[in-house]
Amino acid sequence: MISTVLFDMNDVLCRYDRELRVARLARASGKSPAFVEAAIWGSGYEDLGDSGAMDAEGYLGGFAERLGGGLTLDAWTGALRAALTPLPEALALAAALGRRAVVAVLTNNNLLVAREIDAIFPELRPIFGRNIFVSAEFRARKPAPEVYRRCLARLGATPEAALFVDDSSRNVAGAEAAGLTGFLYVGADALAERLRGAGLLPHTG
């Protein structure tokens, strides 16, 4: 019986436009988009942050340094907020599900995202409360099985009673390797059908 559902964030609960984020960062730093892309993503820096290799201030400091210095928290936060478009159908589904199960967010992200999430994606808190987790908290990134297990331990849940929802087949496979039930997200309608089949949402009609 499923009693806990973990949701990925990007491209499940919101649409994530990295190209737009890079463009905003480029304007803020005076660098080219190609420079920003290479400095942050091409270098592996973002993956290091997602893995918990640095705290929030260390991450921001290193991020700014790689872009030539001077990037402010407001500029970093604004660029990420602009790149996220909430997906109302998925959020409404998570809210409805929260009346019958524990719901949580598990996203590959750094500790600065965790600290600033209410400014970046304010729609999450009313639905998920304190259950908004980034991979950096668990010192591992999806699809490593330990990140799912550590997140569930924080929630006091077991893998056998948990469902994980993600748009990445690799991340779903990682969850399944950790003992969770996985669901590859392709849209809110298909997820709603799966949740109704598990008795987590009422049947319609």
pLDDT, one tens digit per residue, over 84-109 is 999 999 999 999 999 999 999 999 99
pLDDT of residue 203: 77
Structure-token pair, residue 125: 């808190």
Cα gap 98→150, rounded to integer Å? 21
Please name which of 165, 89, 164 lies closest in space to residue 123, comparing C-alpha atoms: 89
pLDDT at 205 over 60: no
Q: 93 and 104 share a domain?
A: yes
SS3 107: strand
Q: 54 and 95 share a domain?
A: no
Comparing 88-92, 134-138, 198-202, which segment has the lowest mean pLDDT?
198-202
SS3 189: helix
The 8-class DSSP code of residue 39 comes to: I
Q: How many domains does the chain have?
A: 2
Q: Which of 83, 103, 135 is the last residue of a domain?
A: 83
**% residues pLDDT > 70 (the chain):** 100
Q: 163 and 153 share a domain?
A: yes
Q: 95 and 181 share a domain?
A: yes
Q: Is residue 202 part of a domain?
A: no
Q: 76 and 40 share a domain?
A: yes
pLDDT of residue 202: 85
Query: Domain limits at 141?
Result: 4-15+86-197
Please answer whether residues 16 and 83 qualify as being in contact, where contact means their C-beta atoms are separated by less than 8 angstroms.
yes
User: How high is the mean pLDDT of the chain?
Assistant: 97
Please name which of 84, 109, 105 lies closest in space to residue 18, comparing C-alpha atoms: 84
Cα gap 114→5, rounded to integer Å? 19
